[in-house]
Amino acid sequence: MACSRARARAYSSAANLGPGFDALAVALNAYYDEVEAKICTGRGGGVYVDRVEGKFSVGVSPGSNTAAEAVRELLNSEGVEAEVEIRIYKGVPPGRGLGSSGASAAAAVVAVSHALDMELAKEKLVFYAGAGERAAAGQPHFDNAAASILGGLAIVASDSAGRLRVFTVPLEAWFSVVTPMNPVPEGKTGVMRSVLPERVGFGEAVRNFSRAAGIVAAAVNGDLESMGALMMSDEIVEPRRRSYVPCYSQVRKAALHAGALGFTLSGAGPSMVALAASREAAVEIASAMEEACACCENPLATVAEPGPGAYLVG
Protein backbone atom coordinates (compact mmCIF):
# COMPACT_ATOMS: atom_id res chain seq x y z
CA MET A 1 0.00 0.00 0.00
CA ALA A 2 1.39 3.39 -1.03
CA CYS A 3 0.34 6.65 0.60
CA SER A 4 0.86 10.24 -0.49
CA ARG A 5 -0.25 13.71 0.59
CA ALA A 6 -1.03 17.04 -1.06
CA ARG A 7 -2.57 20.33 0.02
CA ALA A 8 -4.27 22.79 -2.32
CA ARG A 9 -5.82 26.25 -2.05
CA ALA A 10 -8.86 27.52 -3.95
CA TYR A 11 -10.37 30.98 -3.81
CA SER A 12 -13.89 32.27 -3.29
CA SER A 13 -16.00 33.33 -6.24
CA ALA A 14 -18.95 35.46 -7.29
CA ALA A 15 -21.29 33.67 -9.69
CA ASN A 16 -23.78 34.97 -12.26
CA LEU A 17 -22.56 38.60 -12.38
CA GLY A 18 -26.12 39.60 -13.14
CA PRO A 19 -27.39 38.00 -16.36
CA GLY A 20 -24.90 35.11 -16.48
CA PHE A 21 -26.92 32.68 -14.34
CA ASP A 22 -25.16 29.32 -13.96
CA ALA A 23 -22.71 30.32 -16.71
CA LEU A 24 -20.38 33.03 -15.37
CA ALA A 25 -18.33 33.35 -12.20
CA VAL A 26 -15.27 35.31 -11.20
CA ALA A 27 -12.69 34.06 -8.71
CA LEU A 28 -12.12 36.54 -5.88
CA ASN A 29 -9.00 36.55 -3.73
CA ALA A 30 -10.99 37.88 -0.76
CA TYR A 31 -11.23 34.44 0.88
CA TYR A 32 -9.90 30.93 0.31
CA ASP A 33 -10.29 27.33 1.41
CA GLU A 34 -7.50 24.78 1.68
CA VAL A 35 -7.80 21.00 1.56
CA GLU A 36 -5.12 18.54 2.64
CA ALA A 37 -5.59 15.01 1.36
CA LYS A 38 -3.87 11.79 2.36
CA ILE A 39 -4.38 9.06 -0.22
CA CYS A 40 -3.52 5.40 0.29
CA THR A 41 -3.95 3.33 -2.87
CA GLY A 42 -4.42 -0.40 -3.04
CA ARG A 43 -7.47 -0.53 -0.83
CA GLY A 44 -10.99 0.81 -1.16
CA GLY A 45 -11.42 2.33 2.26
CA GLY A 46 -13.62 5.19 1.07
CA VAL A 47 -13.42 8.95 1.47
CA TYR A 48 -13.92 10.68 4.79
CA VAL A 49 -13.34 14.09 6.31
CA ASP A 50 -11.06 13.88 9.34
CA ARG A 51 -11.76 17.43 10.50
CA VAL A 52 -12.86 20.89 9.44
CA GLU A 53 -11.05 23.87 10.92
CA GLY A 54 -10.53 27.53 10.22
CA LYS A 55 -12.26 30.86 10.75
CA PHE A 56 -15.53 29.78 9.15
CA SER A 57 -15.60 26.10 10.16
CA VAL A 58 -18.43 26.40 12.69
CA GLY A 59 -21.50 24.57 11.45
CA VAL A 60 -19.74 22.89 8.51
CA SER A 61 -20.58 19.19 8.62
CA PRO A 62 -17.75 16.73 7.92
CA GLY A 63 -20.34 14.06 7.12
CA SER A 64 -22.01 15.84 4.21
CA ASN A 65 -19.33 17.82 2.46
CA THR A 66 -18.68 18.92 -1.10
CA ALA A 67 -14.96 18.13 -0.87
CA ALA A 68 -15.59 14.48 -0.03
CA GLU A 69 -18.36 14.20 -2.63
CA ALA A 70 -16.09 15.64 -5.32
CA VAL A 71 -13.27 13.23 -4.46
CA ARG A 72 -15.67 10.26 -4.58
CA GLU A 73 -16.77 11.37 -8.05
CA LEU A 74 -13.14 11.61 -9.18
CA LEU A 75 -12.14 8.19 -7.81
CA ASN A 76 -15.21 6.41 -9.18
CA SER A 77 -14.95 8.00 -12.62
CA GLU A 78 -11.20 7.38 -12.94
CA GLY A 79 -11.44 3.84 -11.59
CA VAL A 80 -9.13 4.40 -8.62
CA GLU A 81 -9.39 2.33 -5.46
CA ALA A 82 -8.05 4.30 -2.53
CA GLU A 83 -8.64 5.40 1.00
CA VAL A 84 -8.71 9.17 1.24
CA GLU A 85 -8.54 11.23 4.41
CA ILE A 86 -9.40 14.91 4.02
CA ARG A 87 -8.74 17.88 6.26
CA ILE A 88 -10.44 21.13 5.36
CA TYR A 89 -9.48 24.68 6.27
CA LYS A 90 -12.56 26.88 5.84
CA GLY A 91 -11.57 30.41 4.99
CA VAL A 92 -14.62 31.16 2.82
CA PRO A 93 -17.81 32.05 4.72
CA PRO A 94 -20.33 29.26 4.00
CA GLY A 95 -23.85 29.98 2.82
CA ARG A 96 -23.06 33.56 1.80
CA GLY A 97 -23.01 33.36 -1.99
CA LEU A 98 -19.21 33.34 -2.24
CA GLY A 99 -18.71 29.85 -3.63
CA SER A 100 -17.69 28.32 -0.31
CA SER A 101 -18.73 24.78 -1.23
CA GLY A 102 -17.21 25.14 -4.69
CA ALA A 103 -13.89 26.29 -3.22
CA SER A 104 -13.69 23.25 -0.93
CA ALA A 105 -14.51 20.90 -3.80
CA ALA A 106 -12.02 22.60 -6.11
CA ALA A 107 -9.18 22.42 -3.61
CA ALA A 108 -10.01 18.77 -2.92
CA VAL A 109 -9.89 17.55 -6.52
CA VAL A 110 -6.69 19.48 -7.24
CA ALA A 111 -5.00 18.05 -4.13
CA VAL A 112 -6.13 14.48 -4.78
CA SER A 113 -5.32 14.48 -8.49
CA HIS A 114 -1.82 15.75 -7.72
CA ALA A 115 -1.25 13.20 -4.94
CA LEU A 116 -2.27 10.47 -7.38
CA ASP A 117 0.03 11.95 -10.05
CA MET A 118 -2.92 12.36 -12.42
CA GLU A 119 -2.85 14.99 -15.14
CA LEU A 120 -6.54 15.65 -15.59
CA ALA A 121 -8.01 18.02 -18.17
CA LYS A 122 -9.50 21.21 -16.79
CA GLU A 123 -12.96 20.04 -17.88
CA LYS A 124 -12.63 16.92 -15.74
CA LEU A 125 -11.45 18.86 -12.70
CA VAL A 126 -14.36 21.27 -13.02
CA PHE A 127 -16.82 18.42 -13.58
CA TYR A 128 -15.69 16.52 -10.48
CA ALA A 129 -15.69 19.64 -8.31
CA GLY A 130 -19.08 20.71 -9.67
CA ALA A 131 -20.47 17.24 -9.01
CA GLY A 132 -19.42 17.68 -5.40
CA GLU A 133 -21.95 20.52 -5.12
CA ARG A 134 -24.64 17.86 -4.75
CA ALA A 135 -23.75 17.73 -1.07
CA ALA A 136 -24.64 21.40 -0.64
CA ALA A 137 -27.27 22.15 -3.28
CA GLY A 138 -28.73 18.75 -4.15
CA GLN A 139 -27.48 18.88 -7.74
CA PRO A 140 -24.23 19.62 -9.58
CA HIS A 141 -23.25 23.23 -10.29
CA PHE A 142 -20.17 24.16 -12.27
CA ASP A 143 -19.88 27.96 -12.29
CA ASN A 144 -18.30 28.52 -8.86
CA ALA A 145 -16.18 25.37 -9.21
CA ALA A 146 -14.86 26.58 -12.57
CA ALA A 147 -13.87 29.97 -11.16
CA SER A 148 -12.11 28.39 -8.18
CA ILE A 149 -10.22 25.89 -10.35
CA LEU A 150 -9.40 28.12 -13.33
CA GLY A 151 -9.21 31.59 -11.80
CA GLY A 152 -10.18 34.85 -13.49
CA LEU A 153 -13.57 35.12 -15.15
CA ALA A 154 -14.82 31.60 -15.81
CA ILE A 155 -17.43 30.59 -18.37
CA VAL A 156 -19.15 27.19 -18.34
CA ALA A 157 -21.47 25.69 -20.94
CA SER A 158 -22.66 22.30 -22.15
CA ASP A 159 -22.62 21.55 -25.88
CA SER A 160 -25.42 19.75 -27.72
CA ALA A 161 -23.92 16.40 -26.74
CA GLY A 162 -23.97 17.36 -23.06
CA ARG A 163 -20.20 17.75 -22.85
CA LEU A 164 -18.99 20.37 -20.40
CA ARG A 165 -16.99 23.20 -21.94
CA VAL A 166 -15.04 25.55 -19.67
CA PHE A 167 -13.11 28.73 -20.39
CA THR A 168 -11.37 31.45 -18.44
CA VAL A 169 -10.70 35.08 -19.28
CA PRO A 170 -8.03 37.13 -17.49
CA LEU A 171 -9.62 40.13 -15.84
CA GLU A 172 -7.97 43.22 -14.41
CA ALA A 173 -10.44 44.82 -12.04
CA TRP A 174 -11.29 45.36 -8.39
CA PHE A 175 -14.39 44.31 -6.52
CA SER A 176 -15.93 45.60 -3.31
CA VAL A 177 -17.53 42.76 -1.39
CA VAL A 178 -20.02 43.12 1.47
CA THR A 179 -21.39 40.05 3.21
CA PRO A 180 -24.33 40.30 5.64
CA MET A 181 -24.00 37.69 8.38
CA ASN A 182 -27.73 37.52 9.07
CA PRO A 183 -29.08 33.99 9.55
CA VAL A 184 -29.78 32.16 6.28
CA PRO A 185 -32.15 29.21 5.82
CA GLU A 186 -30.82 25.68 5.72
CA GLY A 187 -30.19 24.68 2.14
CA LYS A 188 -30.10 28.35 1.15
CA THR A 189 -29.03 27.70 -2.45
CA GLY A 190 -32.03 25.45 -3.01
CA VAL A 191 -34.31 27.96 -1.34
CA MET A 192 -33.05 30.78 -3.56
CA ARG A 193 -33.51 28.61 -6.64
CA SER A 194 -37.08 27.86 -5.64
CA VAL A 195 -38.05 31.53 -6.08
CA LEU A 196 -37.00 31.49 -9.75
CA PRO A 197 -39.50 30.99 -12.56
CA GLU A 198 -39.72 27.66 -14.36
CA ARG A 199 -40.31 29.48 -17.64
CA VAL A 200 -39.33 32.91 -18.94
CA GLY A 201 -40.31 34.93 -21.97
CA PHE A 202 -38.37 34.61 -25.20
CA GLY A 203 -37.43 38.28 -25.18
CA GLU A 204 -36.16 38.14 -21.61
CA ALA A 205 -34.03 35.12 -22.42
CA VAL A 206 -32.54 36.71 -25.54
CA ARG A 207 -31.69 39.92 -23.70
CA ASN A 208 -30.05 38.05 -20.83
CA PHE A 209 -28.04 35.85 -23.21
CA SER A 210 -26.75 38.88 -25.11
CA ARG A 211 -25.85 40.72 -21.91
CA ALA A 212 -23.95 37.74 -20.51
CA ALA A 213 -22.01 37.52 -23.78
CA GLY A 214 -21.36 41.24 -23.52
CA ILE A 215 -19.85 40.84 -20.05
CA VAL A 216 -17.33 38.34 -21.43
CA ALA A 217 -16.48 40.56 -24.40
CA ALA A 218 -16.10 43.59 -22.14
CA ALA A 219 -13.77 41.65 -19.85
CA VAL A 220 -11.64 40.56 -22.82
CA ASN A 221 -11.40 44.16 -24.03
CA GLY A 222 -10.81 45.67 -20.59
CA ASP A 223 -14.00 47.72 -20.90
CA LEU A 224 -15.02 47.86 -17.24
CA GLU A 225 -17.65 50.54 -17.82
CA SER A 226 -19.60 48.27 -20.18
CA MET A 227 -19.02 45.25 -17.97
CA GLY A 228 -20.44 47.08 -14.96
CA ALA A 229 -23.48 48.33 -16.85
CA LEU A 230 -24.28 44.83 -18.11
CA MET A 231 -23.86 43.35 -14.63
CA MET A 232 -26.87 45.43 -13.59
CA SER A 233 -29.12 44.35 -16.47
CA ASP A 234 -30.46 40.95 -15.35
CA GLU A 235 -34.21 40.67 -15.92
CA ILE A 236 -34.75 37.11 -14.70
CA VAL A 237 -32.89 36.04 -11.55
CA GLU A 238 -31.78 39.02 -9.48
CA PRO A 239 -35.17 40.80 -9.54
CA ARG A 240 -36.67 37.74 -7.87
CA ARG A 241 -33.92 37.30 -5.29
CA ARG A 242 -33.06 40.79 -4.16
CA SER A 243 -36.00 41.11 -1.75
CA TYR A 244 -34.48 38.27 0.30
CA VAL A 245 -31.16 40.11 0.72
CA PRO A 246 -30.76 42.48 3.69
CA CYS A 247 -30.54 46.13 2.65
CA TYR A 248 -30.07 45.30 -1.04
CA SER A 249 -31.51 48.57 -2.35
CA GLN A 250 -29.68 50.74 0.17
CA VAL A 251 -26.33 49.03 -0.45
CA ARG A 252 -26.74 49.21 -4.23
CA LYS A 253 -27.55 52.91 -4.07
CA ALA A 254 -24.56 53.60 -1.83
CA ALA A 255 -22.19 51.66 -4.08
CA LEU A 256 -23.23 53.52 -7.21
CA HIS A 257 -23.14 56.87 -5.42
CA ALA A 258 -19.57 56.07 -4.32
CA GLY A 259 -18.52 55.46 -7.92
CA ALA A 260 -19.09 51.76 -8.55
CA LEU A 261 -19.12 50.80 -12.22
CA GLY A 262 -21.52 47.94 -11.54
CA PHE A 263 -23.34 46.16 -8.74
CA THR A 264 -24.90 42.72 -8.34
CA LEU A 265 -25.66 39.88 -5.99
CA SER A 266 -22.87 37.38 -5.57
CA GLY A 267 -24.44 34.06 -6.55
CA ALA A 268 -27.59 33.46 -4.53
CA GLY A 269 -26.54 36.09 -1.98
CA PRO A 270 -26.65 37.53 0.54
CA SER A 271 -23.19 38.81 -0.40
CA MET A 272 -23.16 41.77 -2.77
CA VAL A 273 -20.32 42.85 -5.06
CA ALA A 274 -19.52 46.10 -6.81
CA LEU A 275 -17.10 46.58 -9.71
CA ALA A 276 -14.38 49.21 -9.43
CA ALA A 277 -11.54 50.39 -11.66
CA SER A 278 -8.91 50.67 -8.91
CA ARG A 279 -8.11 49.48 -5.42
CA GLU A 280 -8.57 52.97 -4.03
CA ALA A 281 -12.03 53.21 -5.54
CA ALA A 282 -12.92 49.71 -4.33
CA VAL A 283 -11.95 50.57 -0.74
CA GLU A 284 -14.12 53.69 -0.78
CA ILE A 285 -17.04 51.81 -2.30
CA ALA A 286 -16.76 48.94 0.20
CA SER A 287 -16.85 51.41 3.07
CA ALA A 288 -19.98 53.06 1.66
CA MET A 289 -21.65 49.68 1.14
CA GLU A 290 -20.88 48.58 4.68
CA GLU A 291 -22.22 51.83 6.14
CA ALA A 292 -25.42 51.49 4.10
CA CYS A 293 -25.99 47.93 5.32
CA ALA A 294 -27.74 49.11 8.47
CA CYS A 295 -29.99 46.04 8.63
CA CYS A 296 -27.06 43.66 8.19
CA GLU A 297 -25.77 41.71 11.17
CA ASN A 298 -21.99 42.02 11.60
CA PRO A 299 -21.35 42.56 7.87
CA LEU A 300 -17.98 41.64 6.43
CA ALA A 301 -16.57 44.22 4.04
CA THR A 302 -13.46 43.75 1.93
CA VAL A 303 -11.98 44.37 -1.49
CA ALA A 304 -10.69 41.76 -3.90
CA GLU A 305 -9.05 41.20 -7.25
CA PRO A 306 -9.82 38.30 -9.57
CA GLY A 307 -8.05 35.35 -7.97
CA PRO A 308 -5.83 32.70 -9.56
CA GLY A 309 -6.88 29.13 -10.15
CA ALA A 310 -6.48 26.48 -7.45
CA TYR A 311 -2.87 25.61 -6.70
CA LEU A 312 -0.73 23.47 -4.40
CA VAL A 313 0.58 24.88 -1.12
CA GLY A 314 2.95 23.61 1.52
Check whether 24 is labelled as a binding-site residue. no
Pairwise CA distance, residues 127 & 109, whole Å: 10
- B/e letters for 284-311, b = 16+ CB within 10 Å, e = fewer, are bbbbbbbebbeebeebbbbbbbbbebbe
Check whether 30 is labelled as a binding-site residue. no
Check whether 138 is labelled as a binding-site residue. no
Check whether 59 is labelled as a binding-site residue. no
Check whether 222 is labelled as a binding-site residue. no
Instruction: Name the region of 231 (left: φ>0; alpha: ψ -120 to 50; beta: rest).
Output: alpha
Count other Cβ atoms within 10 Å, centred on residue 252. Answer: 21
Check whether 96 is labelled as a binding-site residue. yes
Check whether 105 is labelled as a binding-site residue. no
Check whether 100 is labelled as a binding-site residue. yes
Give how far the C-alpha of residue 296 lies from the chain's centroid of Cα atoms, to the nearest Å.
Answer: 22
Check whether 309 is labelled as a binding-site residue. no
Check whether 97 is labelled as a binding-site residue. yes
Check whether 94 is labelled as a binding-site residue. yes
For residues 27 and 48, the answer to whether their CB atoms sit within 8 Å is: no
Count other Cβ atoms within 10 Å, centred on residue 174. Answer: 22
Count other Cβ atoms within 10 Å, centred on residue 150. Answer: 24
Binding residue ranges: 93-103
- The binding site for ATP comprises 93-103
